Amino acid sequence: MLFRLIKISAFLIISSFVLSCVTHIQVHVQPSDFYFGLANDSTAEKIKLFERSLASPNEYIRRAAAEKLAVLMSQGADIHRKTMENVRSELRGFWAEAFYVVSEPDKEKALSFFFRHEHNSASYSEAMQFILRECAKKEIIFSDQEFAAIHGHYSVSCLRYNEALDYFRIFQSENNWPEQLPDIFITYPILVNDLGKTFQYTKSTAEGLTLFLQWLTNKELSSDLQYKLNFYSGRIARRIGGKNAQGISLFEQALSLSPNADQSDACIWYILDLTITGPTKTFIERLAKYIPAWHKGSDYNDLLERFLHKLVAERDWNKVIRTYDLIKNTGADVSKISYAWVIARSIESKYLTAADMRLAAQVIGVKSANAPAFYRIAYDVGVVNSLPTLLYRSQCADILKEPFLELTEEVTESDDKEYSQALQFILGFFDYGVADFSHPYIKELEKELTDEELRIAAQALNKEGMCWQSIHLVSLYFYRNGYSKDRRDWELMYPRPYLELVEKYSQEYGISPSLLYGLIRTESAFREAVVSRAGAVGLMQLMPKTAKDMAERLKREGGPDYFGENGIVDSTNPSLNVHIGTYYFKYLQDYFKDTILALLAYNGGQNRVRRLRSASKLPIDLFVETITNLENRDYGKRVPAAARVYQELYYKDNR
């Protein structure tokens, strides 16, 4: 009896001790642990903080901490077995799959994992290497071709196409590709996509087209593989150039095999794209043929805009009207606005013949065609996901005396509203001073967040000065059908960072702050250190030579000396960049005596704009439509459109 009492007492003491330990652990789990772990440089401290985060009541914190510990483990960190058991229970996505693969590894499970995912994150790379190492430990050996396919696939997901081609060349024998599609490509058809993209985006296009056409001679391939080979053969032919007829034929064959609506639209898009460079009559005929097969009209806006440019450049107003007639009942809202606007302007400018006027009237069902009717059509389409069309809307609003933007005031929200765990997790990055780490986590959760949660996250980014990320989040819900925008949505979409700088130099050089904000937003989305592929730097995207030339002018005129060591002008400095950029734009404005031409020159160069303008007698807005370079043409509409939004939001009394 005494022995039994001693056992019970010992059990109670041990239980009490364990309970106190658990309670102690729970007490010391802080919401900040995960976030501080991200910023900590010590691996040991990271592990400690992430381990504690596994006990967080927030499932997204637990999941993120588990992934971080999995990465550390894969890098060789010594993590307790019990911790790794907790990690496995919390992991989701590709890391959970990776642990499933290595739990009882076999080659087929591993290959299925590698070819099912198309990630290019550092975390995925670690998961991939983790599986390869674990397979090697279990003496699971991949053949040279399997190993090359794995790494070729990953290289394509990272857009490293030359590297991918080097891997895929393992399938050659004495520099010759196999006459039949390799078995691994048949088992994992994603590899056809990978090799197709690789040929398309390297200098081996002709080689790729010859190979894919050879593989297409095997009529016993599945319809899915035949679709992929035809589709990517068409893309490669398009890339080569001069093979439009062959490309169209390949896409038509792919269209007959397309597995779903998205792929069907992709084939039609490429058919029309390859047609657009030929006779305008042929394009309209094909457009009429394929419009009934469209699934998503908005996918074709870019093609229709290019065709409009071609028609305006040729002054073929009749075909502008006929094309509008074809698209007016589709989902190509952006193009409907553009075409209606151009028709209205051509009527106003008296460019239409009597027959064109009758056609225009017939298309919209009125007795007599008139510009206001087409302005009304363009305006009534509403606000769509295209900044250039906002310019048309603003001009239509002025002509029709309608509001440009309908700015309802924000609704007051309850202070005690409880946020979802996903949003709480995101806001933690800002609450604990590690906002710079937030981007991949927000990206991963974008589709889980409601419109309101996206806006709250965007507000947090905006407050931190991370405007381009904030603008991206707003864009995810801003244009959704049925979403009612209020003023705070517009202000998040068109923020005003660097307010003191912008207003200072806009006043100094007599340029409206709304125009300057429109220019900066279009150029850099407020990223002060961004560098373009062409080498333009900073907020106003100054080319180094331009920055140096303008800095010298400013210095000669008694302005500040912006030259640093070795005569370098640091265009990543916001104050310097905005000063020189505004000074340069003012110089162009004085030279051209026209704001639109100055903007076009800022983007595309003075000589080009001067040459193009001297060859055209069209009004300035229609002249912009004729500019061949898409970026320059778009720029001439995007900046004024953004400027008009800034005017409406912040400077309406200054108009």
At a CB cut-off of 8 Å and minimum separation 6, what does 433 contact? 35, 39
Closest-CA residue to 643 (of 514, 522, 507, 490): 514
Q: Is 606 exposed, middle or buried (0-12, 13-18, 19+ CB in 10 A)?
A: middle
Q: Is 316 exposed, middle or buried (0-12, 13-18, 19+ CB in 10 A)?
A: middle
90 in Cβ contact with 65 (< 8 Å): yes
Tracing tokens 């889980």 back to the chain, one arrives at: 448
Q: Which two tokens stand for residue 274?
A: 């390859």
Closest-CA residue to 317 (of 274, 366, 350): 350
Distance separating alpha carbons of residues 601 and 218, to the nearest angstrom: 54
At a CB cut-off of 8 Å and minimum separation 6, what does 637 contact? 387, 388, 391, 624
Q: Is 523 a catalytic residue?
A: yes
Q: What is the dihedral of CA 578, 579, 583, 584, to 10 degrees?
A: -50
Total residues found in the chain within this entry = 655
Which one-letter amino acid corresponds to residue 245?
A: A
152 in Cβ contact with 198 (< 8 Å): yes
Angle at 377 between CA 375 and CA 382, to 5 degrees: 105
Closest-CA residue to 254 (of 194, 311, 193, 296): 193
Count Cα atoms within 13 angstroms, Cβ side, for 291.
Answer: 19
599 in Cβ contact with 575 (< 8 Å): no
Distance separating alpha carbons of residues 590 and 517, to the nearest angstrom: 19
Q: Which of 90, 523, 528, 625 is catalytic?
A: 523
DSSP string computed for 404-452:
SS--BPPPPPPTTPPPPHHHHHHHHHHHTT-GGG-HHHHHHHGGGS-HH
Q: Which two tokens stand for residue 166?
A: 């080097």
Which one-letter amino acid corresponds to residue 175?
A: N
Collapsing DSSP to helix, strand or coil, 192 comes out as helix
For the annotated catalytic residues, the residue numbers are: 523
